[in-house]
């Protein structure tokens, strides 16, 4: 963070998920914050939940843990692909619309696995993010209900400034 980082373009980490608020956050980032002409890099980060390691019982009590975990894992990968593709399209769209004299926004994609809250904070550090941008809830209704707000956690624990965008 600081003047050198600004001069070399800022590294803007955007946490994306399947929710509308993360799309709003990315839109805000592209429309109001990031500037291709300034050499900024947008890093799209999607965090997949870790595959379940416990066994799963169906109604008859029959174990089919491997099949189920493989299916869950496959589904989770598909969701990740869909979210990241949508986010990348939005980046391309804005790059074309805004133009900025032929500058194209640098976009990187990271898909990580684990607890979204911890992974986002860790990646912000590891990737040398100048700022973390995210929706105000983040990571879907169910996980929010189970784990509390991801954005609250990141606000407290991320080592860089955090932008919270509400829809």
Residues that bind a second copy (CB under 8 A): 1-3, 5-6, 10, 25, 28, 31-33, 35, 38, 97-98, 130-131, 136, 155, 159, 161-166
Contact between 100 and 36 under an 8 Å Cβ cutoff? The reply is yes
Min CB(2)–a second copy separation in Å: 5
Q: At what angle do helices 116-126 and 150-157 cross, to 10 degrees?
A: 40
Three-class secondary structure of residue 45 per DSSP: strand
Min CB(80)–a second copy separation in Å: 25
Distances, alpha carbon 111 to alpha carbons 1, 8, 17, 61, 127, in Å: 24, 25, 11, 35, 13
Contact between 18 and 142 under an 8 Å Cβ cutoff? The reply is no
Min CB(35)–a second copy separation in Å: 7
Residue 80 vs 131, nearer CB to a second copy = 131
Q: State the burial class of residue 132 (Cβ atoms within 10 Å of its Cβ: 0-12, 13-18, 19+).
A: buried
Min CB(70)–a second copy separation in Å: 39
Min CB(103)–a second copy separation in Å: 13
Three-class secondary structure of residue 48 per DSSP: strand
Residue 80 vs 90, nearer CB to a second copy = 90
Residue 28 vs 139, nearer CB to a second copy = 28
Residue 55 vs 159, nearer CB to a second copy = 159
Residue 1 vs 118, nearer CB to a second copy = 1
Three-class secondary structure of residue 8 per DSSP: coil
């Amino acid at each position: 963070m600081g003047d050198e980082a600004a001069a070399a373009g800022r590294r803007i980490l955007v946490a994306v998920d399947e929710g509308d608020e993360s799309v709003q956050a990315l839109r805000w980032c592209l429309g109001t914050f990031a500037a291709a002409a300034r050499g900024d890099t947008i890093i799209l980060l999607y965090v997949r939940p870790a595959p379940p390691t416990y066994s799963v019982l169906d109604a008859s009590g029959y174990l089919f843990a491997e099949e189920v975990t493989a299916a869950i894992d496959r589904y989770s990968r598909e969701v990740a692909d869909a979210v990241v593709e949508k986010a990348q399209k939005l980046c391309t769209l804005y790059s074309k619309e805004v133009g900025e004299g032929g500058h194209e926004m640098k976009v990187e994609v990271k898909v990580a696995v684990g607890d979204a809250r911890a992974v986002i904070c860790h990646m912000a550090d590891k990737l040398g993010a100048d700022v973390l941008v995210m929706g105000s809830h983040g990571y879907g209704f169910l996980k929010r209900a189970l784990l509390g707000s991801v954005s609250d956690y990141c606000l407290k624990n991320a080592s860089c400034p955090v932008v919270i965008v509400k829809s």
